[in-house]
Structure 1
Amino acid sequence: MGKGGVGKTTLACATAMSYSRAGRRVLLASVDQAHSLGDALGVHFPHEPGTVPGIATVATNLDVIEIDSLALLEDRFREVVRVLGGAGHEHGIDLAALDPAELTGLPGVQELLMLTEIAGFADGRGWDVLVVDCPPSADMLRIVTAPETLLGYLDRVWPPHARALSVAGPDLRRAVLATTVERIVGAVRAVRDLLADPERTAAHLVTAAERVAVAESARVRSAAALLGLRLRDVMVNKVLPAVPDGDSGHPAVRWYLDRRAEQLDVLADLRRRLPDVPIVVVPHSGPEPVGSAALAALAGLVDSRGNRVVPDADPMLGDAPSVRLESGSGLHSVYALRMRLPVVDPATLRLGRVEDDLIVGADGIRRRLPLAPVLRRCTVDGAELDGEQLVVRFRPDPEVWPR
């Protein structure tokens, strides 16, 4: 994920090629509806109206797909209509009268379908690595939160035990609907678990050597920590390379040196603000790298500078929220929930409690965290930021605490 434009997509292609040149079988997938993979690779992917685009092989060990969310929506909608239409029960709703395009306005529908498609590719045995070209960071963070949001809504509106009773009940309409919902829940839960698995999933943030971009990168780091998404590195694109010492009196040379000095200052600031995140510097390549040969050269250039596009085999993993007893016992116990949360603006921190979940919001992102069983019988006693750690303290609720 990262800033929009060809730079982000170009680096996704270069990353995929680095893996493929190392002998790994790679699927490069785009969920960015701008779909610039074909432009960056210098190939044309045929998109037939009303059909789901397929997978194309563009090089040895490298397959590519541009996921068309609208075509995917139409295809899945037809499947649902076929399933419900065969229920043999008058349910009073004519799903066939709906056009799939009417469903595109429902928040998160297309994003969830793309994520479930990606999860299906990840579970397949045909590829060793899946590289996903994502939309810009703000859009991608909204997509990442979609599975948890949908699962939370479904569990509150139609709890799992009620769905189970409907599946086994005498009403065929409710049984078919509940079965369909359970299929959706299973697929969405698989997506959520895949995104939160630091051993299988990591994000690479593509940014520019600009002051505003540094601030955005810090907020993305905060959001990734809150969402449980491992930020593998930050790739700073199009950094001007050094020039040999010589006459710097020409205005063009002075401009170049001043611009490079500004970029180096930004890189220093970025390393200071994100000390625990590897910073990958991608030098400006001059001509725009379009086509397989140019992209392979870009991947080699990055590697030769000591900045690895391909992640380490033993990556740094993120910290999961932890709970421990701080003091006391019985009704006088104090429990502390700790989670890593490098908040950029502490004034944006918000906490709430809904039933057995803790709501945490910071830097424009909100997450619903299921509480550990021991904390469900407690009330929130207070919270604080301890460096980059959010600490929430709980005390037993006398009304429900075991005696």
Structure 2
Amino acid sequence: MRTLLVTGPGGAGRTTVAAATALGAAGRGQRVLLLTGDGDLPDGWFDDPSGDGGRPVVRRVDSGAHFRAEILAFQERAATALGLLGATPFDDEELTELPGSDRFALLRALRDAAGGDWDLVVADLPPLPDAVAVLALPEQLRRYLRRLLPPERQAARALRPMLAQLAGVPMPAEWLYETAARWDTELAAVQAMIEDPATTVRLVAEPGPAAARALRTARAGLALRGLAAGPVVANRMLPTESPDPWLSGLAAQQQAHVKELGEGVHELPHLGRDPRTAGDLALLEPPAVPADAPTAPDWAVEDRRDPDGVLVWRIPLPGAAKPDLGLVRRGDELVLTVGPFRRVVPLPSALRRCTVSGAGLTDGVLNVRFTPDPDLWPRTR
């Protein structure tokens, strides 16, 4: 199964491109699932008057329904504790979703899709930078769960009653550990899907003054998560050979901005109208992502102890700028900040016995220098 994650600046047409991609793949005989949070897709997008072409399965991510289901399930599992507190449970019809619940609904939809029998899953993600934040959630939440409810503590389940008497305080309830374990399993499935080499990010932009800056920041944020974005899809491109001087002037401006989007940009035409039919979508299908599409480079440790006496951790961060970089070591972890994005990563075992001696960004690669700690590094004769 291949997964295509489609995002871009707000209003760039990412939903249209995601739908066109899904429709084109389905027309070639693939089993395609389109995930989208847009509940108002045009009725004619997936109509096929001839009946010969395939259609993708369209699944709307309903954040409101997901939020209500999760709250009601939590109430049921914690009914005893809530009853002792005198809490009044909520009814389904009075629950209104809270801000941010759409992110968790999307993660659940991706997890469900990972267990399906699909050739291609096309996910219409939120606009940048929310999309990068969504993709970071599984790893972040799993880290929080491990810190707050360490899995190794679950080994002492049989001793909890005795420990509670000795300590004089109540121990965490069984359902709490069971819930944490269930959440970790679900998040691990989504994280594996996101980090799978068969998963690709497609960036969609309408060329303009702010597009290049937004995509540069997005590429850095994706690279921080170990994800690679393919060539940009430039949407709503105006014809360059118009006799109208006003229109040709706008087209020239677009072409100038396209050059700022990097190499291999694929241009989609402006139809002069909103796409309303399957035929319109067919005109807006970008090239299919090849099976051997490049993935993000590995974060490699380079041994320079012989010439320089240091180890270097090479972290590819294309699009990152030096003023936006932050680097802090915290125990056996490294806290990396790139613009609005942050990631806490465990150090490779060899680097845990070293001290950070410097860092530099060169050609989109952050080189973090580590000097072996003589008190921790094995001595050689």
Instruction: Give TM-score, length-normalised by structure 1.
Output: 0.80
In the other structure, the counterpart of 2:341 is 365
In the aligned structure 2, how far is the partner of 1:112 from the partner of 1:38?
26
Map 1:62-211 to 2 at 5 A.
62-85=56-79, 92=84, 97=89, 104-105=97-98, 109-125=101-117, 127-166=118-157, 169-170=160-161, 174-197=173-196, 199-211=197-209
TM superposition shift of 1:240: 1.0
In the aligned structure 2, how far is the partner of 1:92 from the partner of 1:347?
53
**Are the structure 2 counterparts of residues 142 and 376 from structure 1 closer, same or farther at C-alpha, using a change threshold of 3 Å?**
same
In the other structure, the counterpart of 1:236 is 234
- Greater Cα offset, 149-158 or 62-71: 149-158
- 2:360 paired with 1:384: yes
Q: In percent, how many aligned pairs have the same letter?
A: 30
TM superposition shift of 1:149: 2.0
In the aligned structure 2, how far is the partner of 1:374 from the partner of 1:344?
26
- Greater Cα offset, 16-25 or 186-195: 186-195
CA contact (8 A) 1:164 1:178 kept: no
Cα offsets for 1:216-263 (capped at 9, x unmatched): 11111111111112212211101112337xxx4xxxx00111111111
In the aligned structure 2, how far is the partner of 1:37 from the partner of 1:4?
17
> Which SS does the other structure have where 1:379 is aligned?
strand
Cα offsets for 1:76-133 (capped at 9, x unmatched): 3333333444xx889845776257887954x7554134213212212212x2111111
Q: Specify the code of the residue in structure 2 equivalent to 1:186.
A: T
- 2:44 paired with 1:37: no
In the aligned structure 2, how far is the partner of 1:384 from the partner of 1:354?
19
TM superposition shift of 1:358: 0.8
In the aligned structure 2, how far is the partner of 1:165 from the partner of 1:110?
36
In the aligned structure 1, how far is the partner of 2:16 from the partner of 2:144?
37
CA contact (8 A) 1:30 1:37 kept: no
Regions of 4+ moved over 6 Å: 88-91, 99-103
Cα offsets for 1:44-65 (capped at 9, x unmatched): xxxxxxxxxxxxxxx7341101
TM superposition shift of 1:71: 0.7
In the other structure, the counterpart of 1:320 is 298
In the aligned structure 2, how far is the partner of 1:292 from the partner of 1:110?
28
In the other structure, the counterpart of 2:268 is 282
CA contact (8 A) 1:237 1:283 kept: yes
- Greater Cα offset, 3-12 or 206-215: 3-12
TM superposition shift of 1:163: 3.8
Structure 2: give runs of 5+ residues left out of the alignment.
1-6, 48-52, 165-170
**Are the structure 2 counterparts of residues 7 and 90 from structure 1 closer, same or farther at C-alpha, using a change threshold of 3 Å?**
closer
CA contact (8 A) 2:42 2:276 kept: no
In the aligned structure 2, how far is the partner of 1:328 from the partner of 1:108?
50
Structure 1: give runs of 5+ residues left out of the alignment.
44-58, 300-307
Map 1:48-59 to 2 at 5 A.
none
Instruction: Give TM-score, length-normalised by structure 2.
Output: 0.84
TM superposition shift of 1:157: 2.1
Q: Specify the code of the residue in structure 1 equivalent to 2:134.
A: I
In the aligned structure 2, how far is the partner of 1:4 from the partner of 1:40?
23
- 2:244 paired with 1:296: no
In the aligned structure 2, how far is the partner of 1:137 from the partner of 1:81?
34
> Which SS does the other structure have where 1:298 is aligned?
coil
Cα offsets for 1:22-68 (capped at 9, x unmatched): 1101111114xx5443567389xxxxxxxxxxxxxxx7341101111
In the aligned structure 2, how far is the partner of 1:12 from the partner of 1:63?
13
CA contact (8 A) 2:200 2:229 kept: yes
* Count of paired positions: 359
> Which SS does the other structure have where 2:210 is aligned?
helix
In the aligned structure 1, how far is the partner of 2:218 from the partner of 2:12?
20
In the aligned structure 1, how far is the partner of 2:249 from the partner of 2:334?
48
TM superposition shift of 1:168: 7.7
TM superposition shift of 1:374: 1.4
In the aligned structure 1, how far is the partner of 2:298 from the partner of 2:156?
34
In the other structure, the counterpart of 1:49 is none
